[in-house]
Chains A and B, each alone.
Chain A
Amino acid sequence: MKKKNPLKIFTINIFFIIACFFALLPILYAFSLSLNANSSILSSDFSFIPKVLSLKNYKAVFVEKPVIMWFLNTFSLAFFTVILSLSVSIPAAYMFSEFSFKGKKPIIRILILLYSFPSILSMFAIYKLLSNLNLINTRIGLVIVYTGTMAIFGLINMKGYFDTIPNEIEDAARLDGASDFMVVRKIIIPLARPSIIVTGIQVLIYVWNEYIFAINFMTGSDKFTLASGLYTMQATEKSGSWAVFSAASIVISIPILTIFFLSQKYMISGLTSGGVKG
């Protein structure tokens, strides 16, 4: 049996290296483009390592465009949206998961069905709504829109995970006199950490990359988010350079990857380490 292992390890690693290459392919392309000194996107003789390396595109990203400001805008939007989203969805998910109350099943069904409506189609209606509330050019308005769009997702996703937490753990806690709030805080949240983190990251990514609502609802280029700023940098006929655009895309993606990498640690669920057996 010991003989097989090196081969298995080898194969499995090769498999992942290939998978990663495939996952990275367009990104490597963009990356190499962004390091290229001569800024044409498509060159008939393309190689992954550009012939002339240069960081000038990255410099251009930071110098030509107020990327830092975009970053701050996006960051604050994302931060508030994730906080609001989680603080609103976790209690709701817990309610839907733990208790059965009148109307629960139909509501869940309706929520799932509602999720099938493409949000782009709602833009016009939401615009009318926000302008009546005078929330058009405000961060709050956008945060509310984002949170609302992801609310169903958050609720359903986390409820699913909460469902798997054995009731015995909870009942044990209640027997010890814990209130609902304490149950959620001390038991559910730690145990459901992976799901909460996944949901949080999904919301984060959504807000980070969302540009359609941002462009229409936030006027003024000082309110631009990273995604809307990036959108304006696209190389259309009249403006922009592909290389700078690629550099900008990479720059924008890095924070998310960092967050993801750092949060890996917390994704390991507490369930597997002890708890209730049998």
Chain B
Amino acid sequence: MKRKHLTIVLFLVLATILSLSCSKQKDENSPITITIWHDKEDVVVDVIKQALEPLSPDIVVNFERKASLAETLKLVGNNPQTAPDMYLYAHDKIGVYVEMGILEPITNLVNSESIETLVPMTKTAATYKGKIYQLPIYFETLLFLYNKKYMKPEEVPSTTDELLTYVQNKTKYGHFGYIEQHSTPYYFGPWINGFGGKVIDEEGNPCLDSKETLQALAYHLKFVKYMPDETEYATVNTLFSEGKAHTTIGGPWLIPTIKKAGIDVGIANMPIINQTGKPLTPYLGVQGFQVLKTGVQNPEKKEAIIKILQILSSEEVEIKLALASGCAPAREGCYSYDSIKNDEIVMAMRNTAENAVPMPNIPEMDVMWTVTGNLLTAVNMSGKDIETSAKQAQEKALSLIENMK
């Protein structure tokens, strides 16, 4: 008994010593280490690593891939020891982090030229309460994709009514004229924006029961009736890759998979909604670098970050990044380069960016995804009445936003 007792105590003591010694290994060398969190593919990170090569050995950049970056950042945001110095992520979480007080305005760290030469919409996306918190690098929007086997470029519908007719005629024998992730809020974006509606406005008031939203829901429902039940990516991707769906609205990430499956895919402009004269206007998602306050506390680190951001604002780097990730660069100057001009996908997204609506980056948006998703599910899949469901969703959104405070 005593032996076992001792062993356990010894083990615990050993464990404590080990753990303490592990944490004591702080670097006392001179290179400054900047930690950048991201959730991107290796391909993209390699480009950044290469671009930042010139800075070593004085500045060493450490990249860490985090699968649930948003959540983890919330946990460590203000702890200088465990928080990163910068992170590469979508713009829509900016509001949340600013309110938590962990983000540093990027305007303190880059020169004004870097900001002025951005594609205007990306600047809007990076702005929260009047200050800019992100250095946009590249962005993506949804695209109208079609299978050239079933639709010739001339036949691409230019208005949504034309699309509806196509769908009504062609959806049979296991084929679908048009599919999309119909009950996913992000994909409902083109419809609601095209009708002039919003999920939430800049002040944080949800607009789920506004006239425009109701119109969008009703019109959208007409198309949903001809789509499969599932709203998830796997279904849409497979149906299109197998040639069972003729058209879809999807992101640029869909294209490599489709091409690999042997589909001759074409990209077209978004159809225009007859009722409003506006095209289907998708959300804009901007990926860029955000800097944490803990990263700039140390003046040496601040200098290092400024240098890093400078390199990353260059057009060449952005072009390489954009091409590696399949998205469009956020800097106007990039679009005079041939490599960009010849890329059909990128140019299509640039076009859409003229009218696209950046995903709202205010904290209140966090709760809207679930609420809007539920609303879409109720209307599209459970067949509930549009007005009542929208009203309920609006109330739910308001109460959730209340709860946030």
Contact = CB atoms under 8 A, between A and B. Distances in A.
**Is chain B a partner of chain A in the same complex?**
yes
B18 interface: yes
B83 to A, nearest CB: 11
Given A124-B75, A181-B4, A215-B67, A131 B19 contact: no
Given A43-B238, A44-B244, A87-B8, A231 B67 contact: yes
Nearest to B242: A44
B242 A179 contact: no
Contact of B234 (A42, A179, A216): A42
Given A42-B234, A131-B79, A231-B67, A216 B72 contact: yes
B82 interface: yes
A26 interface: no
Contact of A140 (B3, B18, B254): B18
A133 B1 CA distance: 30
A236 interface: yes
B377 interface: no
Majority secondary structure, B binding face: helix
A54 interface: no
A215 B203 CA distance: 35
A219 B238 contact: no
Contacts of A235: 234
User: Which of B2, B22, B67, B244 neighbours the largest number of chain A CB atoms within 10 Å of its CB?
Assistant: B67
A232 interface: yes
B66 A219 contact: yes
B251 interface: yes
Contacts of A42: 234-235, 238
A233 to B, nearest CB: 10
B23 A237 contact: no
A242 interface: yes
Contact of B242 (A43, A87, A141, A237): A43
B233 interface: yes
B41 interface: yes
Interface string B155-199: 000000000000000000010000000000000000000000000
A220 B8 CA distance: 31
A12 B41 CA distance: 51
A88 B65 CA distance: 35
A179 B1 contact: yes
B389 interface: no
A242 B65 contact: no
A141 B82 contact: no
B363 to A, nearest CB: 18
User: Which of B2, B75, B233 neighbours the largest number of chain A CB atoms within 10 Å of its CB?
Assistant: B75
A216 B1 contact: no
A134 B244 CA distance: 55
Contacts of B233: 236-237
A127 interface: yes
B22 A140 contact: yes
B34 to A, nearest CB: 15
Contacts of B71: 216
A220 B3 contact: no
A181 B1 contact: yes
Interface in A234-249: 235-239, 242
Q: Which 8 A-B pairs have the closest CB atoms?
A: A134-B23, A181-B1, A140-B19, A42-B238, A232-B67, A237-B233, A180-B1, A238-B253
Given A44-B242, A133-B19, A138-B23, 13 more contacts: A41-B238, A44-B244, A87-B4, A135-B19, A135-B23, A140-B18, A140-B19, A144-B15, A179-B1, A216-B68, A236-B233, A238-B253, A242-B234
6 contacts: A87-B4, A134-B19, A134-B20, A134-B23, A216-B68, A219-B64
